Amino acid sequence: MLDDRKLTILRAIVTDYVSMQEPVGSRALVERYALDVSPATVRNDMAVLEEEGYITQPHTSAGRIPTDKGYRLFVDRLGAVKPLSVAERRAIQSFMDGAIDVDDLVARTVRTLARITHQVAIVQYPVLSNATLRHVELVQLSPGRALLILVSSSGQVDQHPVDIGTAEESQVADLRGRLNAALVGLGPIAACERLDLLLTELPATLKPLADAVCPILKQLQTESHSTRVVVGGVPNLTRFADQYETAVRPVLEALEEQVVLLKLLGEVAGAGEVRVRIGQENSYEPLRTTSVVASGYGGLPGLQANLGVVGPTRMDYPSNMAAVRAVARYISRYLAEG
């Protein structure tokens, strides 16, 4: 067990190293934190912390830096989550209040998280398991081209261009009406089943148009947004360009793998709470030089997704945890009220 002074020294080392990005020496700690002991005493305590694996000396005659174990103790016992300032809370609300649909909300959430934390933000699309189809729109854009638009009860909007060949405007309107009459109010599985039946009931004059439209409609219904993750703030990694080969490039490659990101968020995030994975605690090897701060969000029965940030282990954990928690609560409230 570490006594209070050693814990104070560890807290100071983590805080200084995160803010100054330089190894921390004993004399600097005595001067900055009024420890009321000599540098020699601090060095002895630092030696104990190093022996226990909480800090390490990157090279001879240097100060100390935290290890993954040191960061973990800091997160679990020494660091208090910093409440966001009034200005930060106002900025989150003003930036996200204008969201017009789920796509826009997710995009705004990613940008907000990246902007506040200066890390890479990751947001999983929210999925409402009991969402139903609210409206089907088929808009003829030009001869031979149309736009298929689906609106769900959760506010999600999907759209896809369709090649409609020689279909006339009256045929487009006729099929649109039949699709709405048959599918509105149904969930994705039921809508796909009803669509198969509808194809057998259509008059021959609508068959070519339906053959072009219905496969795309079914595809949009069966594609689950739960398998989609949006990433933002990647340029924030440029702060660590000197570590490109060892840290940045593996992270960039990992960020391109949707399955990896979904698994990562799922392992870290907990419903309604903020959790942290630090360095070697990450199961995916290319991300073992990073930390992940994540939380679940929802706001409605049957709705659950995750969001978080990825950055170097040398991150401001209290501030990032506060930001992730605040944004998760805000998006949950938005979905519940929207």
Tell me the DSSP string of 1-43: ---HHHHHHHHHHHHHHHHH-S-B-HHHHHHHHT-SS-HHHHH
Give the chain's mean pLDDT: 86
Mean pLDDT of 1-6: 87
What would the two tokens of residue 218 be? 């079914």
Tell me if residue 85 falls in helix, strand or coil: coil
Q: Give CA–CA dist 56/46, Å, rounded.
A: 9
Q: What is the pTM of this model?
A: 0.71
Q: Give CA–CA dist 199/210, Å, rounded.
A: 7
Sequential DSSP letters for 216-256: HHHHHHHS-GGG-EEEE-GGGGGGGGGGIIIIIHHHHHHHT
Give the model confidence (pLDDT) of 292-324 as tens digits.
999 988 766 666 788 999 988 999 999 999 999
Give the model confidence (pLDDT) of 243-279 as tens digits.
656 667 778 888 888 777 877 887 776 656 899 999 9
The shares of helix, strand and coil residues in the chain, as percent rounded to the nearest 5, are: 55, 20, 25
Q: Give CA–CA dist 155/175, Å, rounded.
A: 23
What would the two tokens of residue 149 be? 């638009």
Mean pLDDT of 131-142: 90
